[in-house]
Amino acid sequence: MPPLLEVRGLSYDYPDGTPALRDVSLRLMDGDKMALIGANGSGKSTLLMHLAGCFAAQRGEIALRGETAGQNLQALKDAAGLVFQEPDDQLFMPSVLEDVAFGLTARNVKTEEAHARARSYLEQLHIQHLADRPPHRLSSGEKRAVALAGILVMDPEVILLDEPSSALDPRARRNLIDTLNGLGKSMIIATHDLEMASMLCMRAVLLHKGRAAWEGSPMALLSDNAFLSDHGL
């Protein structure tokens, strides 16, 4: 079986010339949860944007189940669900329920069916009581959970999370970790929360200045202070 996702020699510069990724290679097997670790500016979000089909590779390639994406990003867009770092970038409907159902109604699922499915994910994440609230008035932890529900409802093959624990209080963070652990889903979690990474992921890839500089167990990283400070963590 080919890996669910494979990145080979991926490099990317932003239009203003800022280098963001350099020769990155990695593989995600079905059912794996992988942490993507690295200091601010190391390229985590840029890599997730590629995996979600938002950016096309400039050099190197991304393959989904052995099929190279090339310039056709639709297969990646369909397979991957990206939860943005800022939930405000993702939430825009007048109510939580409509927001979570949005991806389905946009794909012509009937409103009633879309709302029923959205409600089931609100229940799974224990936020059914928020269904009628306007998303922009929620706490950060609540917004994060709503944004996650909006991705889960699409049933993506792989979930990509961009710094999901940032700005969460300890209890919201704990809930998030439990929720993610309970989802039998393939995931890539970009974070500098090493403790969360070690609770969720068997494997981590460390990005340093756009390069995949190290790969191993997040547990091993937690105890290596010299290595962490060398890589800005």
Of 12-20, 59-67, 74-82, 180-188, the window that binds ligand ADP (rule: CB under 6 A) is 12-20
- For residues 124 and 40, give the distance between their C-alpha atoms in angstroms, rounded to a whole number: 32
Question: H-helix or E-strand containing 11?
Answer: strand 5-13
Closer residue to Mg ion, CB minimum distance, 36 or 69: 36
135 binds ligand ADP (CB under 6 A): no
Residues in region 46-75 near ligand ADP by CB under 6 A: 46
Decide: helix, strand or coil at residue 176: helix
Task: Decide whether 97 or 205 has the Cβ nearer to ligand ADP.
Answer: 205
Interface with ligand ADP, residue 45, by CB under 6 A: yes
Structure tokens at 50: 């590629």
Q: Which of 176, 214, 208 is nearest to 195 (CA)?
A: 176
Partner from Mg ion, ligand ADP, none binding residue 58, C-beta < 5-8 Å depending on class: none
Q: Residues 13 to 32: which contact ligand ADP by CB under 6 A?
A: 14, 16, 18, 20
Q: Which residue is nearest to Mg ion (CB)?
A: 45
Q: What is the largest CA-CA distance in the chain?
A: 55
Measured CA to CA, the distance from residue 66 to residue 27 in angstroms comes to: 11
CA distance 96 to 94: 7
CB count within 10 Å of CB 183 equals 14
Choices 44-52, 96-104, 140-148, 212-220; region in contact with ligand ADP by CB under 6 A: 44-52
Q: Residue 221 CB, nearest distance to Mg ion (Å)?
A: 18
φ/ψ (deg, to 5) at 154: -80, -5
Least Å distance between CB 55 and ligand ADP? 10
Residue 156's binding partner among ligand ADP, Mg ion, none (Cβ under 5 to 8 angstroms by kind) is none
| Segments in the chain forming alpha helices (H) | 44-51, 74-79, 96-106, 111-124, 140-152, 170-182, 194-200, 218-222, 225-230
By C-beta, is 42 or 179 nearer to Mg ion? 42
Q: Is residue 175 helix, strand or coil?
A: helix
Q: Binding of Mg ion at residue 45 (CB under 5 A)?
A: yes
Of the candidate spans 36-44, 72-80, 103-111, 147-155, the one that interacts with ligand ADP by CB under 6 A turns out to be 36-44
Contact residues for Mg ion, defined by CB under 5 A: 44-45
Contact residues for ligand ADP, defined by CB under 6 A: 14, 16, 18, 20, 38, 40-46
